[in-house]
Each structure stands twice: as C-alpha cells, then as structure tokens.
Structure 1
C-alpha cells in the first residue's frame, strides 16, 4: 500500500498544466511587456511618426495613422486571447485614442482658413471628446466600476449599447476616424492625376461617414451628461452621509 502511495503521489507523475498560447519569449509577468501593451506602444510610435508627415505628405500620414487605428482593434483581441487585460492597458488604449484624434482635429482646425467657422467647430469637437471621456472615466472610477466600459442600462441605454456591443463600438469609432481622415485628405490641393482619380472616393467616404460621426458626437455629449449626473449623485450621497454623521455626533 505504501509503495502504491509513493507512485501515486510521487514526483514521477507530472501535474497537468494549462497550455499557454504565447511563445516562450513573450511570456512574462511584467505588465509593461504584455502583448496588448506592446501593440499599444507600436500605436504610439506610428501615430507620432504620422504627425511628422501630416503637414507635408498626406498619403504617408494616412497610412501610418490608419495602421495605428487598426492596431487599436488588435490590442483588444490580444488582451482577450492571451488573458492579458489590464487597467494600465485600458488607460493606455484610451489615452492613445484621445491624443491621436486630438492631433488630427488640431490640424483640421487650421486646414480650412477659407471657412473660419470650421476652426471653432473642430476646437469644440476636440474639447467635447476630451471632456466627455475624462469625466466618464473619473465618474466610473468613483462609482467603483472595474472598467470605463462597464455601463449598465440604468445609467444609459445608449452608452450600454455603445460599450458592450463590439460591432457598434467598432463602427462608430472607425467611421468617426474615417470622416476626419477624409476631411484631412480633402484639405490638400490636387497635385497629381492619381489623386484626382481617387478624389470622388474620398468625398464619398466623407459623406457616408458623416452621419455616424455626428452620432459619435451625440454619444460623447450623452457620456459627458451622464458622467456629470453620476458625480452629482455621488456628491449628494456623500453630503447626506456627512450630514447624518454630524447629526449623530451632536446628539
């Protein structure tokens, strides 16, 4: 019996280990080096280089900027596939999105000098994008949510659909960027016959993506309004609790 126990519990039997889909050289416990975050760093590099070409070479800028945006979808997939979803990665992803879009809107605000009203519009859209996401992130953090995407239907049906349905989220984000990129390309004079040939396509992309881009701005406004409401409710609850505690101390 003793010998049987040794065989059954001894070191000769190998414990079952869960397979890791990552190659050995990518396996690490360092969050900074997780695959989704490495993709995030690549996004930053590509977006930064695109800014160098933004005023001088629209095609190169568009390619670099577009690849950076495509990687935005890839890092989320990698996080789910390799079980490497982290708060650092989520914030890195959102901050990169906000910075790249802001830089493009800053360029657009000066790209149409013949239409001074567009300058104010693009500045407003930039401010709305930053304010809505910052307020939303802060409100969700104060609420104790695990992620800024954890929006329940009671808080907002629109935001719940936007953040929980990957198809809706991708469609609005992609169309939003495509609309701004098309406006960026249209801001340059036509230097070649090749560009003249694709000019109708660029204009068509601008028209097709406009309604979804407009919807994205409505979502940003709703997000900011709901975040403000959440923060006010938290303030009211804190003040009521403090008032009750002060009342109990006086008694």
Structure 2
C-alpha cells in the first residue's frame, strides 16, 4: 500500500485536514490548555506542554511519509513553536521580574529571527527556510539539515525555560535546577543560531532590495 494518501485533485479542505496539520491543531490545543494550568498545576502543565513539544517532531515525519507537505503546515508549526514558548516566557517574566528584560530580549530575538528568516528565504525563491547550504552558514546548515541536531537543540531550549519554571515549586526545584544547568549549552547554541539566521535574513533581504533597485535604475 502506497504511503501517498494525497488525492488526485487537492482542495483547500484536503490541505486543512492533512494528517500533519491535524497534529498541528492538537499541538495548539495542548499548548493553550497548558497555559490554564501553568500557575497552580505544574504536573499537568508539564504533561501538556511536553506533549505539544514532542508532537513537533511527529508532524514533519507524517508530512514526508504521506506526501502532505504544505505551506500551512510549515507556518502552523513555526507559529505554534513561537507562541508556546512565548506563553511560558510571559509567565517567567512575572515570576522572575529581575530577569524580565532578558526574557523580553530573548523572546524578541526568537520571533524576529524566525519571521525574517522565513520571509527572506521565501523572497529568495527557496521552498523552505530550512534550505541552508553549507557554504552560506555551517552552523545553520548543521542546525536545519540534521534532524537529530534540530530536535536536540530545540528540546534543550524548551528544557531551559521549563527548568526555570519547575524551580518555582518546592517539590521540583532541585530537578528544575539541574534541568536548567544541563540544558544551558544547548540553549546558548539556539540563541546563537537565532542571531546568525537574523543576520543572514537581513543580508538576503538587502541583496534582493539592491538587485531590484538596480533593475529599476536600468529601466529608467
């Protein structure tokens, strides 16, 4: 039996109900539910938030397996990632007011770098923001082409914030402390990747603008 389940004539409704997109909807629901229990129920929050994060590794696999790769799925995946992390960081800003500016800066870097990188990649004619050649950036090439590296670094990034969250509760404070310490190197790698992709995106957009300006000048 073929793994390609896409019908001959694909409609918008088909795309909306692609298997990976269904997984994406579950990610949104579990992430949203985790916000409601975040303040007083750390165990429930951990299960819901972890489920949303782990499903992130499943939707891409299902998209490739069933030939159901879509722009909707790619955007849904990215905004769910950014939104779920942002929700957790908002809570941490309240609980760690002395680190509020740091969290704000990291959140701004996360959102800005991913949005600009996706927009720049699509503007340059690439089918995905994950299409990065080794000659363009070794770090981003490693980060985006090796699924094991991408999953591990993203997991460490989430674990760093989750560790800070768990330290707020007496029965999980020690575990949270060690989670934060162990995940810190991966967290630093992730923020470095964000800076690199932000710089790359700015250069791509500036290069496109320069080409468009030159073509306009020639036409005049």
TM-score (norm 1): 0.82
| Structure-2 separation of matches of 1:154 and 1:139 | 17
| Contact 2:163–2:177 (Cα < 8 Å) also in 1 | yes
Unaligned runs of 5+ in 1: 1-18, 247-251
Residues 211, 31 of structure 1: alpha-carbon distance in 2 compared, 3 angstrom cutoff: same
Say yes or no: does 1:127 pair with 2:147. Answer: no
1:154 offset after TM fit, Å? 2.9
Describe how 1:43-82 pairs up with structure 2 within 5 A: 43-82=27-66
How many angstroms apart in 1 are the aligned matches of 2:55 and 2:70? Answer: 17
- Which 4+ stretches in 1 moved above 6 angstroms? none
- Cα distance between partner residues in 1 of 2:116 and 2:150: 19
Q: Does 1:244 align with 2:203?
A: no
Query: In the TM superposition, what are the counterparts of 1:76-91 in structure 2 within 5 Å?
Result: 76-91=60-75
Measured in 2, the distance between the counterparts of 1:242 and 1:48 equals 47
Give yes or no for the alignment of 1:149 onto 2:133.
no
Give the match's secondary structure for 1:83.
coil
Q: Would the alpha carbon gap of residues 108 and 230 (structure 1) be closer, same or farther in structure 2, given more than 3 Å must change?
A: same
CA displacement, residues 179-231 of structure 1 (integer Å, 9 cap, x when unaligned): 1111111123x2xxxx2xx5433221110101110110011011101100111
Shift of 1:162: 0.8
Using the alignment, how far apart are the partners of 2:127 and 2:158 within structure 1? 27
What is the match of residue 208 of structure 1?
A: 182
Residues 171 and 240 (structure 1 numbering): CA distance in 2 closer, same or farther, change over 3 Å?
same
Q: CA deviation at 1:163?
A: 0.6
TM-score (norm 2): 0.93
The answer to whether structure 1 residue 219 and structure 2 residue 193 are counterparts is yes
CA distance in 2, matches of 1:82, 1:93: 17
Whether the 8 Å CA contact 1:112–1:187 is kept in 2: the answer is no
- Say which one has the larger Rg: 1
Counterpart Cα distance in 2 of 1:180 and 1:149: 24
Secondary structure of the structure 2 residue equivalent to 1:154: coil
Residues 229 and 21 of structure 1: CA distance in aligned 2, closer, same or farther (over 3 Å): closer
> Which has the larger displacement, 214-223 or 151-160?
151-160
RMSD: 1.5
Aligned residues: 214
